[in-house]
Structure formats: C-alpha cells, structure tokens
C-alpha cells in the first residue's frame, strides 16, 4: 500500500505505507517568544471596530497608529452617529421633534384666511379655501387634490349662451350696434 498515514501524537511522528514500525519525525523547533511590550486592549473599542466599522473603508495610506487614532476618535464620538435607536443621531442641540398630526382637518367654515390678501379678492370672498383631500389611485399611490364642491354652490349658473361661452355672439353684437 502506497500512501501517507499520519499519526498525530505528542512526539509528532508519521508513517508511510504499511510499515508502522518505521516512523519518521517532523523537525520541530522549540523557540522562546519574548514579549517586549503588551498594550492594553479596549474590548469595547474592538467590538465597535468589528460591528460598526466593518463596512467602513479606511484609507490605505494611513499607518497603523493613525488608523487606531481614527478608530478611537470615532469610538469616542459614536453617540453623534445614527443608529437603530437614534436614526437621526444624538447631537445635543440639533434634535428634531417630529409631531404627527392625526386629528381631523378643520372644515372650511372654521378656517381663518391663510393670508390677508384673500379678503381682497373681490367677488370670491364668499368662497372659502378648498379642502385638501387624499385620493387613492388604482396603482396603490395616493395623490393630494382639492375638493372644489363648495365652489359650485357659490358660482352663478350660466343661463344664456353668451355666459357659457364668454365670447360675444353675432346676434348680441347686432343688438349693440
């Protein structure tokens, strides 16, 4: 039988083929490792690097010392960045309060004019501001439109052809001559 049969024991021998009596040993060197300086490891910083900075692309031109300083700086100011708990970050003084309004809108009669110029529009001052309405479309999107049904109650119905077309007709021009 030809092949290599490795036996892993404390003496690191291996045999070749069927002859288990003839053993060959690996050359092993026992060398002493001297430790000159051991730097303390910040476990939280290492966890921050492995979790938060794993997708960060840090320049290849930085030395190891500069990269460690950058990581330490980012770790020291980690509260300023967005996270799952704080999606807008946590910079003091720049907090954003988002107030959602779920109350019903005021009917047009209870609303104040938006601008003082609305009262100066003349014959349209009886017509209130239109009510905004959200309309759902067939493709699942929604659209904001104005509800002008109140406008129809204030407009004068056209009873003659002249009022409908707003252009003078020949028969009316003959009366003016």
pLDDT band at 66 (very low <50, low <70, confident <90, very high): very high
- The pTM (predicted TM-score) of the whole model is 0.33
**pLDDT for 4-40, tens place per residue?**
545 555 556 666 666 666 766 655 556 666 767 767 7
Q: How far is CA 6 from CA 19, 24, 91, in A?
A: 12, 10, 62
Per-residue pLDDT of 129-174, as tens digits, reads: 577 777 777 777 787 877 777 666 666 555 555 555 555 556 666 6
Determine the 3-state secondary structure of 133 from DSSP: strand
Supply the angle between the helices 43-51 and 64-76 in degrees, to the nearest 10.
90
Q: Which of 49-53, 56-60, 150-154 has the lowest mean pLDDT?
A: 150-154
Confidence of residue 2 (pLDDT cuts 50, 70, 90): very low
Where do the structural domains in the chain lie, given as residue ranges? 1-29, 42-98, 108-165
pLDDT of residue 146: 77
């Amino acid at each position: 039988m030809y092949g290599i049969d490795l036996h892993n024991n404390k003496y690191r021998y291996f045999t070749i083929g069927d002859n288990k009596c003839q053993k060959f040993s690996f050359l092993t060197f026992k060398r002493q490792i001297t430790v000159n300086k051991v730097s303390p490891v910040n476990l939280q910083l290492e966890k921050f690097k492995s979790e938060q900075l794993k997708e960060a692309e840090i320049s290849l031109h930085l030395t190891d010392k500069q990269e460690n300083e950058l990581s330490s700086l980012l770790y020291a100011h980690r509260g300023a960045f967005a996270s799952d708990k704080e999606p807008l970050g946590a910079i003091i003084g720049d907090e954003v309060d988002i107030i959602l309004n779920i109350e019903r809108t005021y009917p047009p009669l209870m609303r104040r004019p938006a601008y003082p110029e609305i009262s100066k529009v003349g014959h349209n001052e009886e017509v209130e501001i239109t009510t905004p309405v959200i309309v759902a479309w067939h493709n699942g999107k929604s659209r904001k439109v104005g509800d002008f049904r109140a406008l129809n109650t204030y407009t004068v119905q056209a009873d003659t052809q002249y009022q409908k077309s707003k252009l003078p007709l020949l028969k009316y021009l003959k009366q003016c001559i």
